[in-house]
Structures are given as C-alpha cells and as structure tokens.
Amino acid sequence: MPDFDAEDSTARRLELFRVLVEEARDYAIFFLDPEGRVTSWNAGAERIKGYRQEEILGRHFSLFFAAAEVTAGKPNRELARAAAEGRVEDEGWRVRKDGSRFWAAVVLTAVRDAGGKLIGFTKLSRDMTSWHRAREEIRQSREDLAVTLRSVGDALIATDPGGRVTLMNPVAEQLTGWPSGEAHGQPLETVFRIVNEETRHTVENPVDRALREGKIVGLANHTLLIARDGVERAIADSASPIRHQDGSVRGVVLIFRDQTAERAAETTREQLVREHAARAAAEASAAALRESEERTRAVSERLNIVLEGVADGITMQDPSGRVLYANSMAARMCGYGSAEEMTAAPLSDLAARFALFDGDDRPLPYEQVPNRRALAGGGPSSLLVHVRDRSNGRDWWSQLASIPINGPEGRPEAAVSIWHDVTAQRRREDELNFLVETGALLSSSLDYETTLAKLTEALVPRLGDWCAIELLEGRELRLLSIEHVDPAKVSLARTLRAKYPPDPRATRGAYQVARTGRSELYPEIPDELLAAGAQSPEHLRVIREVGMKSAMVVPLSPREGTVVGVITVISTSAARRYEGADLALLEVLGRRAALAIENARLYREARGAIHVRDEFLAIAGHELKTPLAALQLQVQGLVRLAQRADVAGSVDRLRERLDKTLALGRRLDELIKELLDVSRITAGRLTLERESCDLVALVRRVLDRFADQVAGAGATATLGGDSRVLGHWDRARLDLVVSNLITNAIKYAPGKPIELTVEEASPARARLVVRDHGIGIAPEDQSRIFGPFERAVSDRHYGGFGLGLWIVRQVVEAHGGSVRLESSPGQGATFFVELPSG
Amino acid sequence: MSGPTVLVVDDDRDIRDALSDVLSDESYTVVCAADGDEGMARLRSVPPPAVILLDWMMPNCDGACFLRQQRADPSVAAIPVVLLTADNRALAQGPETGVQARLAKPVSLDELLAVVARYTV
C-alpha cells in the first residue's frame, strides 16, 4: 500500500502517481468515499465504464452493478467486507453507462488515515469480458467433453505423457473396477491390466506403444482385461496419442470395450453358421448318402456272402476285445450256435471260456495274441495258436492273422482276425510225430512183449485213458499189457479180466475183431451196450464203474487176413469221443505193432533157422567127410595093394575092396542129392510149378525107378487104389515126396512089403498112403520126425541126413495139403498124405 | 598073418571097414567097436590090443567117455590111444586128454600106418 503521507518528495511522488493513474487506460482506477461515492476518476475508468469524470464524481458506485445485485445489497456488502478485511477481490458482470455489460475483475481496498479512520476506498477494475468469454467457452467445452465421455458406451482412460491416469469415464471405472478418483495418477498398467487370452502373458501396454510410436495403435486380439476384483473380460481397444499444437505428445487416450458378450455372441453366431452349414451339408449329402448306403448295403451283402463262404473264421474286435463281427465259420470254430450268439457273448465269457496256447503248447501271453497285438498298436501279425474250449475240453489249432484298422487319429479302432483252421494238419503232424515216435519204439527192440508194453504206455493218455494189447495164441487171446492213466487201476483191470475173461463167442469186442480182422469203433457207449457185454449183474456193476465213454478195438494185423492180436483203447472222458480219424490212427499203429511182432517172430525164426543151418552144415560136413575118409582110406589101401608083388594072389580081395569103394562113392552121391533136394525146397520159399498130373501115374513111375533098390532090400512094393487121381500139382516135387516115403520105408523096413495106395479121399482131395511093416515109430517121436535132421533112431546105419520126411512135409504143405503118421513101435508105420486137387 | 592087435572104435561102419581092410593088408589083427562102451567090452574080452584107434564123435558113449573108462581101468590104462577125428576142437585139445597121437580125418594111410607101427613095435 503506497504511503501517501511520506514527507520529502510527497508532492513529486503524488504527481507521478496521479499521472500513472490517469494515464492507465486498461484499468479503471478511482476512489470512493467511505459511503461509496466516487471521488476520483481516471481515463481508464472513462474508457471502460463510459462515464466521464464530471458525470460520475459524487455518484454511488452501485451504479456499476446490475439492478438485481444492487437490490441484493451486493455493493454495500463489498464495501463492508473491504472495510472489515482491508481488501476484496471480485469478478463479475458490471454495467456500463450505455447499459452494456462487461466482465470485470475488481479489487476494492479500504484506505485509512494515520489514525486508522476509514477515509475511503480505492477501486481497481479491469475489463475481462473477452477473457471471461474464452474461459466460459473452455468451461463449456470441458463440460461437453465430460458429458460426452460420460455418455460414451466405450471405456476411456486418458494418461499424461508419463503414462499416469488422468481421466477415466464411468465405463472405464466399471470395467477396471477402479473409481476414477483412486485411479487418478496411478500408472496405467496398474489400472489397466491386460494379458493374452491364451498365453496369459502380460500384453504390452498400448499406451507405451502409442507414446513411443506417436500414432494410434490397436490392441492385439484375444486380450483379456483383468479387473481389480479379478474378473476377466475380453476387450478390444485402441490407444491414441494426445498431441499438443506444437506436435508434442501430451498423453494418450485409451478406448476399450468389453467384448465378452460380443465374443459369446460371435461364438454363438459362428456355431449357428457352422450348424447351418453342417445341416446344409448333411442335407445335401443325405441323398448321396442314401444312394451310397444302398450301394454299401449291396456291397456289404455281397461281402457278407463272401465272408460266410470263406472257409476261415473271420472276426472283428473293438479295442476292448468285444467281438463286433463274426462270420458263421468263426462262430462254429468257437462252438457257438451262430455268429449272433458269438457277438452277443460278453467279453468276460469269451476270456473265461477259451484258453490259448502257442505252437509248443505253452500258455500264450495275452499281449502276444495277434488280435491283441493289433489292437495295442503292434501292427499286423500272424501266429499259430492252440485254442482250448474250457467248457467242454474241445480244442483246435488255428493260424491266426490279425490286422489293425486304424481310426483317423492313427490309433487302432478295431482288429480284423482271420482264423485259419489248421487242426487237421496239426493232427496229422501230431499223428505223424506220434507214429514216428511209436515207430521208433516198436523198432527199438526185438523183444516185442516189452515193446508192446511200452506201446500201451505211449498210447495212454495220448489216445485214451485205457489201453490193452492182447495177443492171439492159438485160439486164445492172452492179455499182454494193459495201461491206465491211473496206475492203481491197472491191477484192478487184470483182476477183472481174470475174473470175467472175455467170451470167445461174443459178436463184438476183442475176439470178434481177432476173428474178422475188422476194427470196431464205439463213438458212444450206451448202457445197453455195457449190459449186453456183461456176464453177470456184478460184472455189469463193475464195468459201469469204469465209466467208458468211447472205445476202439483194432486188430494187430501185419497184412490182410492175418491177425496176431488186438489192441483196445478206451476213453472215460466225455471230451474224447473217438471218430474215424482216431480209428485210422490206431489201425496204422495196430498194423505197425503187428509188423513189429511179426518182425520179432521172423527174426526169432530166422535166428533159429540160422542155428539149424549151422547145425545142418556141421552135420552135413561130418556126414560128407565120413564116407570120404573111408573112401580115401580104401583107395590108398588099394594103391598100396597094387604096388605089392603078390597082386595076382589078391584079385578076389581087390574086387571086394573096389566094390566097397564104389559103394562109398554112391553113399556120397546120395548125400549130395539129399542136400540138393533140401536146397531146392528152401530156395526162395518153395514156389510150386503146378501142372495137371495124375498122381497114380506119378507114383507108378517112382516105383519103377526104385524097383532095383526095393528088390535089393529084399522088399516088395504094391500099388492099389483108384486108377486115376488128377490134380494140379508140382510134378517134380511130388516125385520127391513119393521117393522119400519109399526110401524111408526101404530104410526102416528092409525085407518087408511096402503097400502104396492112391485114391480120391473126397471130391478135389487126393490121398497117398504108404504103409511099411518095419520097426515103427514111438508116439513121442512121431511129431518130430517131420522136422529137419530128425530121425526116430539115432543109429547112423540108416545113413542120410534125416531130411527126407522134413522134405515131404514141406512140399505137401506148400500144396496146401497135410501129412500125418500112424505107427507104434514094432508095428510098422503108415504115412497119410492128403493133397487138394489145386 | 597074426600081427599086433589094433582096436578100432568108430560109429561109422564104412570107416571101420576101411580101417580094418587097410590094417589087415598090413598084417594087423583088427578088432572093431561101434562106440565107447563096445570098445571097453572088446578091451576086456580079448587079449589087450597094442594100440587103440578112437573116433571122437560117436552116439551113446563117445571118445571122451571111452577115454575116461579106459584110464580108470589100470589093466588097460597104459594102452596107447590114437585119436581119429574130423573135429578140429578135439584135435586142438591139450595132452591132458591123455591120447598119444591125433590124426585128422580123412587120414593119410602112410601117416596112419606110421603111427600104428610106432605103438606096436
């Protein structure tokens, strides 16, 4: 406040001040007395308010106020306030002299004297109308902006260049969860937290980019705004830099929108579009589909016919193993009545019912079964499997090939399996192996009784639960070996057989088979069959206990027409019913066993024959050597006699000795002839050269030939009987028979009559009888004289090898005939030879 | 013509005959027997022979049988025995059989006469 009462230069300073005030044109400066009347006026006041000095001095300053303000007492209130407070500033409309209004900025200052007494007021006014108007306009535009912002549906956040929030509209408040009051001044990223929808990574704040790049940037798609309360919203936004006139960036405006609903709507829309498209496509393809279905059905029908016609089982299984499809063959293989029954069977039933084994009959691990492998992603594979149906014990072999069917994702959706039944081959292989094994067994030893016992062991339980081998001895079957799965039952079986021997007259069973050479097969053994075979109620009870279910009885026959025994195999298990294939196998075994028996017998016989021949050779050697030794002695003696001087006196003696020498030569000749006969008979099993001949004529010729010998022995020979007995015989060998019988008679009945008879014993049967009256043959010798090297008497005076009667028997039997002897010691002997006419 | 006696024991008549003939030609007295038992009987009934020609293989009582009996009888045990046989085994047997000589059938007459001569000197 200027001190108007300063002493020194007060006048000069007053003058300076007066000039300053008066000349100040932009300010109205004037004084008021304590009551408010104008006491001074300057040029500025005149210019601003329109009153000249002379007009206004002495007038109350309320003149400058609008009438309403004067009425309201404002002028006097201002004076009072200035008086009280020393100074009042005010802005407001004032009235000019011409009544127009101007916006005045006013300072009213109380002026007091040195004693503090109020002496008036200074009033300083300035015309602020244009400024006021501009300010009003700004205010208005701000208000408009605020209203605009408030009414905008999008959220809006403005920041300063530092990225701090300066402004938020209600939508932004709502979406961010930040009241604008709290948000103000916060870094934008605190208020506006955004992440990528998928990665959940924080997305670069758009404000930073807008600030950096100085241009409008949009948000990346799939941006999520995380509100203060954690609610997430999909938003779309853009950020725009706020530029000053000079181009500098003053901040950023961020506008964003909640897209959750929009997104949902979009999704729904897209879905609808897709559904529409799908429906359209479906409808469009429905016709094509129907057509294609028709075709498919036709193809599948044909395919079905093909699959049904295939000899292999075909199944399709889903990954759980459930059977989706099976052809009839597959169902039949597995023992189901139909394919439907098989596909309807629960998986657990299939698993429980069938046991799987590999080619060597080891249990097959589940994961190695081709269909399981295919379903497990193991690709196609093939394996020989042995399947056993636990429900009934039936089993079969199959080459199982499985192929996976992959779904669109490359994972197996199903497996198709082809079951190629190789049971028959496998059985054949098994049988072959079995035959090889048993063949080895049968040929392992020539002791066939032991071998056959081993065979019965090999047959149980391979072929049955019971197995017995009986050998034919004469007309009786002798039980050679018996075997049972339970060894304890073997002795029981023997006891039973001893107690109830099989009836030789039975029309079925071992005796019948031994008689006919024809096998018997009993797939089933009904009780009536047991009852028919039982010899007593007790027997029936016992055989019922055996529990026979199926049986086979096969002859041991090395060749057609020859039976050496019978093999019986019995099953007591319901699972094993014999059929043709089993019987065929047993028949082969029967034949092999019979051959083994026969081989063993033949070997025994051959060994015997070799022994006999060795003995024969020893005897023959001795027999031949003896006359030779005598012959040599005689010849050497003759040589010595011839060298002596007195030869002449020894003529008689020489003659006698030469006769003996000739006789020795004859003896040797006889022996050699006999040997030749034997070799002729035994060479090549005596094949006959049959021709029509008359036995009577034949015998007569032999008698003629032997006439000298018979006479020489002082005997007679007569022939009686029919005049002609015709037949078809080997003439040369029958000659040998007759010769031997006559020689025999001469040898053992010298000097006695020999009576021969030839007659027809019965139609087509010739009979030759040779009767002598010699020493006869004791009953105990009668059976063996027909053997080789047998003589009823041991004295060698009778000469020869003793092969004559053996030769007779061989030739007669080769003709299908027989020879027998009736004799007693001292009563002579009668030989009867009977020959079929051939 | 009454030279030393030779006993021939052989089951074959032709052999006995031949031996008898050739030995008689050489002035021996020949006595024959068809087996061992008969041979023993002949040994006892006649003045003992100087030598015995014995067949080995004979029915009834064979060569071995005869030898056992002969050796058991001191009165005839010292008579030398010449074994005549075609049996190689008998020929190969050791001296324990107690025979003085072995001749294989068929025998050489010279050999036979030499052996008989040796035991009848």
What is the SS3 assignment for B3?
A: coil
Per-residue pLDDT, averaged over A804-824, amounts to: 88
C-beta atoms of B12 and A630 within 8 A? yes
Per-residue pLDDT, averaged over A89-100, amounts to: 88
Please state, in angstroms and rounded to a whole number, the distance separating the CA atoms of residues A213 and A649. Answer: 176
C-beta atoms of A630 and B22 within 8 A? no
Q: What is the pLDDT of residues A251-285, one digit of tens each?
A: 888 888 777 777 777 777 777 777 777 777 777 67
Please state, in angstroms and rounded to a whole number, the distance separating the CA atoms of residues A343 and A55. Answer: 125
Q: How far is A610 from chain B (nearest CA, A)?
A: 21
Q: What are the structure tokens assigned to A764, written together?
A: 């087509």
pLDDT at A91 over 60: yes
Q: How far is A762 from chain B (nearest CA, A)?
A: 45
Residues of B in contact with A615 (CB under 8 A): none
pLDDT at A720 over 70: yes
Q: Chain A within 8 Å of B37 (Cβ-Cβ)?
A: no
Q: Chain A within 8 Å of B118 (Cβ-Cβ)?
A: no
Q: How far is B72 from chain A (nearest CA, A)?
A: 27
For residue A531, name the pLDDT band (cuts at 50, 70, 90): confident
Say which residue the tokens 């961020």 belong to: A254
Residues of B in contact with A633 (CB under 8 A): 15, 18-19, 21-22, 106-107, 109, 112
A816 contacts A809 by C-beta, under 8 angstroms: no
| Mutate which: B8, B13, B22, B103, vs A, most A CBs within 10 A | B22
pLDDT at A303 over 80: no
pLDDT at A85 over 50: yes
pLDDT at A642 over 70: yes
For residue A797, name the pLDDT band (cuts at 50, 70, 90): very low
Of B13, B17, B22, which is closest to A636 when you measure between CB atoms? Answer: B22
For residue A801, name the pLDDT band (cuts at 50, 70, 90): low
A788 contacts A804 by C-beta, under 8 angstroms: no
pLDDT at A795 over 60: no
Q: How far is B15 from chain A (nearest CA, A)?
A: 5
Please state, in angstroms and rounded to a whole number, the distance separating the CA atoms of residues A319 and A511. Answer: 60
| C-alpha radius of gyration, chain A, whole number | 74
| Mutate which: B35, B38, B57, B105, vs A, most A CBs within 10 A | B105
> Counting Cβ atoms within 10 Å, is residue A129 exposed (0-12), middle (13-18) or buried (19+)?
middle
Instruction: Please report the pLDDT score of residue A686 as a whole number.
Output: 61
Of B17, B59, B108, which is closest to A660 when you measure between CB atoms? Answer: B17
Per-residue pLDDT, averaged over B27-46, amounts to: 90
Residue whose C-alpha is closest to residue A418's, from A494, A332, A342, A310: A310
Amino acid of residue A752:
K
Instruction: Please report the pLDDT score of residue A504 as a whole number.
Output: 86
CA of A637: which chain B residue's CA is closest? B22
Per-residue pLDDT, averaged over A188-214, amounts to: 80
Instruction: Please report the pLDDT score of residue A719 as a whole number.
Output: 94
C-beta atoms of B18 and A628 within 8 A? no
Q: Chain A within 8 Å of B19 (Cβ-Cβ)?
A: yes
For residue A58, the tally of other CB atoms under 10 A from its CB is 10
C-beta atoms of B109 and A657 within 8 A? no
β-partners of residue A315 are: A326, A417
Beta strands per DSSP E along A293-336: 313-317, 323-326
Please state, in angstroms and rounded to a whole number, the distance separating the CA atoms of residues A573 and A547. Answer: 8
Instruction: Please report the pLDDT score of residue A680 as a whole number.
Output: 66
Instruction: Please report the pLDDT score of residue A790 as a whole number.
Output: 53
For residue B20, name the pLDDT band (cuts at 50, 70, 90): very high
| Mutate which: A619, A623, A628, A633, vs B, most B CBs within 10 A | A633
Please state, in angstroms and rounded to a whole number, the distance separating the CA atoms of residues A507 and A553. Answer: 13
Instruction: Please report the pLDDT score of residue A221 as a whole number.
Output: 66
How many CA atoms lie within 13 Å of A756's alpha carbon, on the beta-carbon side? 26
Q: How far is B106 from chain A (nearest CA, A)?
A: 4
A168 contacts A176 by C-beta, under 8 angstroms: yes
A399 contacts A386 by C-beta, under 8 angstroms: no
For residue A1, name the pLDDT band (cuts at 50, 70, 90): very low
Q: What are the structure tokens assigned to A284, written together?
A: 């469009």
Instruction: Please report the pLDDT score of residue A718 as a whole number.
Output: 93
How many CA atoms lie within 13 Å of A759's alpha carbon, on the beta-carbon side? 10
Instruction: Please report the pLDDT score of residue A220 as a whole number.
Output: 60
pLDDT at A519 over 90: yes
Of A626, A636, A796, which is closest to B109 when you measure between CB atoms? Answer: A636
Residues 57-116 of B with CB under 8 A from A: 57, 59, 86, 105-110, 112
Residues of B in contact with A663 (CB under 8 A): 14
Kind plus residue range of the DSSP H or E element containing A590 = helix A580-643
Q: What is the pLDDT of residues A425-469, one digit of tens each?
A: 888 888 888 888 888 888 777 788 888 888 888 888 888 888 999
| Cis ω before A346 (30° cut-off from 0) | no
For residue A233, name the pLDDT band (cuts at 50, 70, 90): confident
Extract long-range pairs of B63-69: CB within 8 Å, 24+ residues apart: B63/B9, B63/B36, B63/B90, B64/B97, B65/B36, B65/B37, B66/B9, B66/B35, B66/B36, B66/B37, B66/B39, B66/B40, B67/B97, B67/B98, B67/B99, B69/B36, B69/B40
DSSP state of A795: -
Of B11, B15, B21, which is closest to A637 when you measure between CB atoms? Answer: B21
Of A622, A633, A797, which is closest to B18 when you measure between CB atoms? Answer: A633
pLDDT at A717 over 80: yes
Phi, psi of B8 (to 5 degrees): -105, 120
β-partners of residue A155 are: A256
ipTM, two decimals: 0.88
| Mutate which: A625, A628, A636, A666, vs B, most B CBs within 10 A | A636
Q: How many helices (H) and strands (E) does chain B have?
A: 5, 5
Q: CB neighbours of A373 closer than 8 A, spacing ≥ 6?
A: A367, A379, A381, A402
Say which residue the tokens 């036709």 belong to: A298
pLDDT at A628 over 60: yes
Residue whose C-alpha is closest to residue A344's, from A371, A325, A319: A325
Please state, in angstroms and rounded to a whole number, the distance separating the CA atoms of residues A765 and A446. Answer: 41
C-beta atoms of A625 and B105 within 8 A? yes
Per-residue pLDDT, averaged over A38-49, amounts to: 87
Instruction: Please report the pLDDT score of residue B39 as a whole number.
Output: 93
In order, the DSSP letters of A678-705 are HHHHHGGG----EEEEEHHHHHHHHHHH
**Which is it for strands A716-721 and A753-762: parallel, antiparallel or unpaired?**
parallel
For residue B116, name the pLDDT band (cuts at 50, 70, 90): very high
Q: Is A68 left (phi over 0), alpha (psi -120 to 50) or beta?
A: alpha
Cα end-to-end span (Å), chain B: 16
Tell me what percent of the residues of chain A surpass a pLDDT of 90.
13
Tell me what percent of the residues of chain A surpass a pLDDT of 70.
94
A567 contacts A467 by C-beta, under 8 angstroms: yes
Phi, psi of A98 (to 5 degrees): -80, 5
Q: Which residues of A touch B (CB under 8 A)?
A: 621-622, 625-634, 636-637, 640-641, 657, 660, 663-664, 667, 794-797
Q: What pTM was estimated for this model as a whole?
A: 0.45
C-beta atoms of A621 and B13 within 8 A? no
Average pLDDT, chain B: 85
Q: What is the pLDDT of residues A372-404, one digit of tens each?
A: 888 888 888 899 999 988 887 788 889 999 888
Q: What is the pLDDT of residues A590-603, one digit of tens each?
A: 888 888 888 888 88
CA of A650: which chain B residue's CA is closest? B25
Q: What is the pLDDT of residues A558-593, one digit of tens each?
A: 888 889 999 999 998 877 889 888 898 899 888 888
Instruction: Please report the pLDDT score of residue B93 as a whole number.
Output: 63
Q: Chain A within 8 Å of B22 (Cβ-Cβ)?
A: yes
Please state, in angstroms and rounded to a whole number, the distance separating the CA atoms of residues A583 and A507. Answer: 19
Average pLDDT, chain A: 83
CA of A630: which chain B residue's CA is closest? B15
Return the minimum-mean-pLDDT range out of A617-631, A765-779, B55-69: A617-631
β-partners of residue A236 are: A257
Q: What is the pLDDT of residues A466-516, one digit of tens each?
A: 899 999 888 888 988 888 888 888 888 888 888 888 888 888 889 999 999
